Structure 1
Amino acid sequence: MAYCPANLYPLPQPDWSKDAVIYQVNTRQFSQAGTFDGVTEKLAHIAGLGAKILWLMPIHPIGEKHRKGELGSPYAVKDYLAINPEFGDQSSLRRLIDQAHALGLKVILDWVPNHSAWDNHLVTQHPEWYARDYKGDFRPSPWWDWSDIIEFDYEQPGLRDYMIKAMAYWVEEFDIDGYRCDVAGYVPNDFWRQLRVALDDIKPVFLLAEWEDRDLHRDGFNMSYAWSWNEAMHEIAQGQAPVDRLRKYYSWNERAWPRSAYRMTFVSNHDKNAWDGTQQEQFGECLEAAIVLSVLGEGMPLIHNGQEAGESKRLAFFERDPI
C-alpha cells in the first residue's frame, strides 16, 4: 500500500487560518523604543499588510551568565513566567494583545523548550531536568555556537509538566493564540502530543514548528518551516541549481506531506537576516520573484519585520539595532 500522509495525518485547521499571512516581530529592533508599546503603535500597519498572525520573538528575561553581546540572545531564557523589562510589563503586553485581537490578528509567542539560560532558576531548583555530557556537566548544544544556553532532558516527567504549565499560563492569563516552538525537532514528539491536548483544553491554539518534519504535524503542529523551499530558491538565485529544483520541491511537498499541513515559506527571517544577510544579499536579482513565489506558491508566507520596507540591513542579534 502506498504511503499517503494525507490519510495518515488528518489535521483540521482553524477557519481563520485559510489564506493567512504571518508577520514576525523582534520587539527589540522593531521600533525606536524597542518596547511592546512600540509594536502596538504599528499594529494597524501590520494588519494592513494582510497579516493574520503576529509572531512575537521571545519576550522573557534573558540570561546574564555566558551572555552573548551586551543584551544577549532572546533564546537564552532566564524565566519562562516573566517578561523582559526591556520590553515593558504585563500591562503593556496585554495592551498589545488586546489591540491585535481588535484588529483581527492572532498572537503567537516564540517559545524555547529545548534549552534555557545558564542562570535560569530551574538550574538550581531542578538540576536533574538538564542534560549532561559524559563528564556529568551541563550540556550546551553541540551543533551550533550556543554557549549561552544548556539543554533540557525531556526524559524527566517533572520537566514536561512544568513546561506544559508554563505554556498554559500565557494562554490562560494573556489570551495568546499559540506558539512558535524553537528547534521543535530537538524535543521528543510525544511531548508535543501532550502539549496539544493540554492547551486545547483551554482554547484552540495555533502551533508553528521551527523544524521540517512531517511527523510533527501528526503530533500537534499546524505549520512547519519550509526550509527546503528557502534552500531551493536560494540555490536557484545563486546559480547553484536549475529552476527545475523548485518543481522537485513542490512535487516532494505534495507527495510526502499531509495535505492539510501548512508549510511556512519565507525569503527572510531573524536567523537568515542576522547570519546570512539581507534579502537582497541572499537573492540578488531573483529577490522579487522569490517574494512573489513565497506568497503565491504553496504554503503560508512569512513577512520578517522590515522586509516590507526593503530590509536594507542586517540587524544585530545581541544589541539594540532598530529597523
Structure 2
Amino acid sequence: MRAVASTHQHPTTYQIFTRVWLDELSRGAGVRVDLASVPDAELDRLAGLGFDFLYLMGIWTLGSEGPRISREMEGLREEHDRALPGWTAADVVGSPFAVARYAVSPSFGGDPALAALRERLRARGLGLILDFVPNHVARDHHWIEEQPACFLRDARGAVLAGKDPYFPPWRDTAQLDARLQVTRAALIEALLGVAGRCDGVRCDMAMLLLREVFEKTWASRPPVAGEPLAQGELWAEAIDTVRRAHPGFLFIAEAYWDLEWRLQMLGFDYTYDKSFYDRLSHASAHAIRGHLSAGLDYQRRSVRFMENHDEPRAAGVLPPDRRKAAIFLAATVPGMRFFHHGQLEGRKIRAALHLARVTTEAVDPRSLAFHTALLEALKNPALRTGSFAMLSPQGNEAESFVAYRWDVVGPQGEVAPVVAVVNFAPARGGCRIPLDLAGIGGREVRLVDRMSGEAYTRDGDALLDGARGLGVVLPAYGMHLFEVRR
C-alpha cells in the first residue's frame, strides 16, 4: 500500500465536486452511483495519475431551507443558464457551503458509504480531504434549535445571514458568532467529527475567523450579554485539539487579503495562493519571479492552482499556450499542486454551485494529453521531496523567462536534479541559464524533457560556465522540464 503523502512533501490534490462527479459516473454506468459504488476503474485512474489526495467538495447534508432560498435567488439565473441550459427547479439543490448537518448526504450513501470509499482510497495510497465551513451554517442547521446562543442576530432577534465584509450576505446561511466560547466549543466538536472521517480539511474562508477580521466585520453587533468570550485564536486551539486526537491531520485554509502567512503561523499546513493565480492569469514573468522570491517556508505551504470551484475555467478564459504555461508553473513550484475536476479534460463550463449537475462537454484531447504528461512528470522524486532554487536567465530576452531547479539526493548519495524553464511571454525568445549543478563538471550531460520527450546532450563544463550555461530558445509560452542525467 502506498502511504498517504506527508505534509512535508509537495503533494498533488484533485478537487471533485461530489454531486457532479456522481451524476457523471451514474450516467456513464447507467445506474445510480453513490460513494460506496464508485467504480474501481475510476479510483484506479485517479491513483494512476499520481494524485496524493482527493478533495471531495460538498458531501455534507443540506437542509430544505438552502435549496428553497436558492430557487428564489434571481441573481443565480444567469450562472445556471451558462452551466446547464434548460435547467429546472428540480436541478437546484442548494449550495454545498450551507451545511445543515456534518453527516454525509443520504443522496450520496450517507456516512457508511464515505467510510467504504475512504478504505478503497487508502488501499490505493490516496488521502481524503473534506470541507469544513466555520463561518456559517444552513438556516435550518440543528444548532439553531440546540445551540441558539451561537448565532448573531438583528435587533428583533432574527438570525443574521453569513457574510464576509466585502460582499452581500449569503442569504441561505446563518452567521455564527465566533467570539463566544459556546460557539468555539461547538465548532471544535464538529471539526473533530469531520476529522474522524478523513485525512484533512479544506477550511472555507478561514481568514473570516481570525479574531481581528471577525471583530471588524461584526463591530456593529456586540456579543450576547452574559455569554463567556473565547480567548485567543480559534484556529490555534482547533488545530491543536484535532491533532491531539488525529496526529498528522492536514489543514488547508482558503485564504485571501494577504492573511496567508498569519494562518500558516497559526498551524495551517497549506493556504490558498490566490495572488499567484492572479499573476499567472494576468501578469508577466517579472511578477511571477517576484512572487516566487518569497521565503521557501511560505512557498511550500501554498496551494497552487489555476482552477477551483470559485474561479472560471482556465480553458474558457486563457489562450491555450498561456494556459498551459500557467498550469505548468502552478504545478512545478513548491507547495500543494491543486487540480480541479474537469480541468484535465479542458472543460470550459464551470459547474454552478447550487445545481445538481452540469452540461456535458467533449474532452479536449490536447488538454488531456498535456495534463497527463505533466502529472506523470510530477512523480519525479525531485519535484515531490526535493529542494527548490530559482535560476537566473541571462541575455537580452531573459526578462521573459522563469527558471528554477529541484534537487534530490538519491539512495547512493547522487544528486538527481530537474530544471524547469518557461518563456512566459507572447513572443518567441531565448536566453542562457548557468546551471550550478553538482557532479556535472567534466562530464557529458543528458537533458531529457519530460514534457516533449526530446533529449539533448550537453557539455557539463559549458553548463557550469557563467558566460555560456544552458542555451534555450522557446516559442511563446513554451516550456522545458529537464531531467538532468549524467
Tell me the distance in 1 between the aligned counterparts of 2:332 and 2:186.
40
**CA-CA distance at 1:92 after TM superposition:** 1.2
CA contact (8 A) 1:35 1:88 kept: yes
Which structure 1 residue ranges, 5 or more long, are not aligned? 1-13, 237-241
C-alpha distance in structure 2 between counterparts of 1:45 and 1:181, whole Å: 27
Runs of 4+ in 1 over 3 A off after TM superposition: 14-17, 37-41, 133-137, 257-261
Tell me if structure 1 keeps the 8 A contact 2:15–2:54: yes
Corresponding residue for residue 28 of structure 1? 19
Q: CA separation of 1:66/1:191 partners in 2, compared to 1, >3 Å: closer, same or farther?
A: same
Q: Which of 330, 341, 352 in structure 2 is aligned with 1:305?
A: 341
Is contact 1:192-1:220 (8 Å) kept? yes
Structure 1 counterpart of 2:355, one-letter code: E
Q: Deviations over 1:84-133 (max 9, x none)?
A: 11211222111110011111111111111110011111112222211234
1:35 to partner: Cα distance: 3.1
d(CA) in 1 for partners of 2:10, 2:195: 24
Aligned with 1:126 (options 137, 147, 151): 147
Equivalent residue, structure 2, for 1:139 = 160
Deviation readout 1:66-93 (Å, 9 max, x if unpaired): 531420001001112x221121122211
Matches within 5 A, 1:97-112: 97-112=118-133
Three-state SS of the structure 2 residue aligned to 1:22 is strand
Identity of aligned residues (%): 28
Cα distance in 1 between the residues matched to 2:154 and 2:8: 42
Q: What is the letter of the counterpart of residue 56 of structure 1?
A: L
Supply the AA of the counterpart residue of 2:301: Y
CA distance in 1, matches of 2:159, 2:297: 38
1:203-225 deviation per Cα after TM superposition (whole angstroms, max 9, x unaligned): 22010000042111111100000
For the residue of structure 2 that corresponds to 1:104, the secondary structure is: coil
Q: Which of residues 276, 286, 305 is equivalent to 1:244?
A: 286
Is the Cα contact below 8 Å between 1:27 and 1:35 reproduced in 2? no
Aligned partners of 1:86, 1:50: CA distance in 2, in Å?
29
Partners of 2:169 and 2:182 in 1: how far apart?
Answer: 28
Instruction: Determine the structure 2 residue equivalent to 1:6.
Output: none
Alignment of 1:126-275 (within 5 A): 126-133=147-154, 136-140=157-161, 141=163, 143-144=167-168, 146-172=170-196, 174=197, 176-188=198-210, 190-203=233-246, 204-212=248-256, 213-236=260-283, 242-251=284-293, 253-254=294-295, 258-259=297-298, 261-272=300-311
Contact between 2:100 and 2:137, CA under 8 Å: does it hold in 1? yes
The Cα of 1:248 is off from its aligned counterpart by 2.2
Aligned-partner residue type, residue 281 of structure 1: G
For 2:352, what is the secondary structure of its paired residue?
A: coil
Q: 1:75 and 2:103 equivalent?
A: no
Q: Does the 8 Å contact 2:195/2:201 carry over to 1?
A: no
Deviations 1:253-290 (A, max 9, x none): 33xx7447510111101111xxxx32112222311111
> 1:115, 1:152 within 8 Å by CA — same for their partners in 2?
yes
State the AA in 1 paired with 2:317.
Q
Does the 8 A contact of 1:73 with 1:318 survive in 2? Answer: yes
Q: Matches of 2:58 and 2:104 in 1, distance apart?
A: 9
Change (3 A) 1:122 1:281: same
Question: d(CA) in 2 for partners of 1:16 and 1:226?
Answer: 17
TM-score using structure 2 length: 0.57
Gaps of 5+ in 2: 27-32, 72-91, 212-232, 361-486
Which amino acid letter does the alignment assign opposite residue 337 of structure 2? P
Query: Structure 1 residues 248, 153: CA separation in 2 closer, same or farther (over 3 Å shift)?
Result: same
Q: 1:270 to 1:35 in 2, by over 3 A?
A: farther
In the alignment, structure 1 residue 65 sits paired with structure 2 residue 108:
no
Offset at 1:49? 1.5
Report how many aligned residue pairs link the two structures.
Answer: 295
SS of residue in 1 equivalent to 2:280: helix
Between Structure 1 and Structure 2, which shows a larger proportion of strand residues?
2
**Is 1:283 the equivalent of 2:318?**
yes
Q: Over the residues paired in the alignment, what is the CA RMSD in angstroms?
A: 2.1
**Larger Rg: 1 or 2?**
2
